[in-house]
Structure 1
Amino acid sequence: MDEIDRGIVRILAKDGRTPFTALARELHVSEATVRHRVTKFLDSGALRIVALSNPLTLGHQAVRLMIRCRDLTPQAVAKSLAGMPMINHVALCAGGQDIFLEGTCRDQAQLVQLMDDIRMLPGVSDVQVLLLLQLFKDYSWEGLSSAVGQAITEEGSAR
């Protein structure tokens, strides 16, 4: 990612509906350059333009779960969890837990059902629940726009 890519992501993170012409004007490049780079991001899966909402302001239950696996691989359990409609983020992790989940439920009854469904899944041995009470910041590409992390060269190696 170079400065133009970071600029595209920064602007789209604020408003994913920003026209390519406006992106090009703000970044001082051609519209074709913006279109090519956004298409490349989308095709590679590095970028997905979505609408994000704060589930708490809608009266929903937002939950984060840490899961420990037994008898099945974490990858097999994660694939099962990914198919659940209330789960919106599934990631394998290293450390004391095997899987990190984010979920949104319309109410407490649906949260209870989700927890029951997860606990009954083969391979799930322990579930830690974090119920969100207030959301101060959600998904952000801030780390890509500053000195956080490493810059990646065209060949894919860190500089």
Structure 2
Amino acid sequence: MRVRNISGASAASASAGDLRIWQCLFSEIPAAMLHSPPRFSDPSLPPLDDADRKIIGILMLDGRASGRDLAQQTGISEANVSRRLARLIQEKSVRVLGFVPPEFLGLNTQFVAYLRTNGSTDAVAASLLAHEQISYISGALGTCDLVIYGTARDTMDMVSIMDRAVVANPLIHDSECHVVLEFPDAKRGHAPSVTQVVPRQIDQTDRHIIRQAQQDGRMSFTDIALQTNISPTSAADRFRKLLTDGIIRVITLPDPTRIGLKLSGNVRIVASTATRALASELLSKLPELTNLAIVSGRFQISAEFNTRDATHFDDFRARMLNTRGVQHAEMSLHRKLYRQHFNWSMPEGA
């Protein structure tokens, strides 16, 4: 396998070439056919109605909003809200999960890698699924075949994971790995640094509660209590303290296609060292970009984008490339999601 490592003028030339290839690829696909598949939900599901969208919108602001609050804010009955919410979650139109910064759990290195495969991308993805440290695996169309994100205890652990999962895989012929340096994306509320110190010690009971919330951010305190062998009152007190201490956040992830964002993908951006901070700050204000990260390597910024259609994509790309500090970009379309979870492996000594 060849691990690509391009720097200096050759990096600018290669990236510009990749962008020209992408533009040609994009122009050859009829706009009506250009769309990304659903990430979690069944593509045959009927469209969401206004009430469904209102519920999702409220959950985006407060993932644990009560049935009463949802009913009051949407103007529909609490029973109707309950049925709709259960359906939306069951059909995976929306997921509500507990998010804990990996470094709070002893995972101090985060990384994202872009892979080119030999042959079946599905076969490569299946092999990557055996590695729990890789929590995001997405098929792509464009300048790479797969995008992966993982967590590790430190850089040596990251190298070990990449060696086992990627370098030793004969179906992968090219990879480029970036260490995540910072998440400046204020819209998603990510921690401002991947090296921050956990606010307080996390004991074993906290860990059990976190594991439950990582699976279901709306799990009732009674169910959390049953899973952790503590009382419901204690479960409620501990969960609220995890929230107020800033250790856990409840996040809502709608399937982009279900809310009208039918064209999504990944982008890597080159910005000069002098303008990187400014570029990331300005880019974080673009509503189409999520999970924006400052990374190491020949690209300085990595992010995901979500747009409605080809016209919206063209407009977004123009605004992105015209952002001060952005020199050029490399883009790929989301093709298939194989895994996305936040159930970080938690070293017992963390």
TM-score grouping bracket, smaller chain normalisation: 0.7 to 0.9
Q: Which one of the candidate residues 170, 181, 191 is aligned to 1:122?
A: 170
8 Å CA contact 2:260, 2:308 repeated in 1: no
Superposition pairs of residues 2-151 of structure 1, within 5 angstroms: 2-55=49-102, 60-70=108-118, 72-118=119-165, 119-137=167-185, 138=188, 144=259, 149=308
1:112 to partner: Cα distance: 1.2
Over aligned residue pairs, what C-alpha RMSD do you find? Answer: 2.7
State the one-letter code of the partner of 1:19. S
8 Å CA contact 1:77, 1:122 repeated in 2: no
Deviations 1:63-95 (CA, angstroms, capped at 9, x unpaired): 11111101x400111122123111111111001
Give every structure 1 segment of 4 or more consecutive aligned residues whose post-TM-superposition deviation is greater than 4 Å: 56-59, 138-141
5+ residue gaps, structure 1: 151-159
Q: Do the aligned partners of residues 85 and 5 (structure 1) sit closer, same or farther apart at CA in structure 2, a change above 3 Å counting? A: same
1:56 to partner: Cα distance: 5.3
State the one-letter code of the partner of 1:123. L
8 Å CA contact 2:114, 2:147 repeated in 1: yes
State the one-letter code of the partner of 1:127. S
1:145 to partner: Cα distance: 8.5
TM-score, normalised relative to structure 2: 0.38
5+ residue gaps, structure 2: 1-47, 189-250, 262-306, 310-350
Count of residues in correspondence between the two structures:
148
Matched residue of 2:143: which SS?
Answer: coil
Deviations 1:118-153 (CA, angstroms, capped at 9, x unpaired): 211231111111221111234865x7499x526xxx
Farther-moved stretch of structure 1 (7-16 vs 126-135) = 7-16
Deviations 1:42-64 (CA, angstroms, capped at 9, x unpaired): 22122222112333566621211
Distance 1:85 1:52 in 2: 17
Q: Do the aligned partners of residues 64 and 25 (structure 1) sit closer, same or farther apart at CA in structure 2, a change above 3 Å counting? A: same
State percent identity of aligned pairs: 26
Greater radius of gyration (CA): 2
Matched residue of 1:49: which SS?
Answer: strand
Distance 1:34 1:85 in 2: 35
Higher strand share: 2
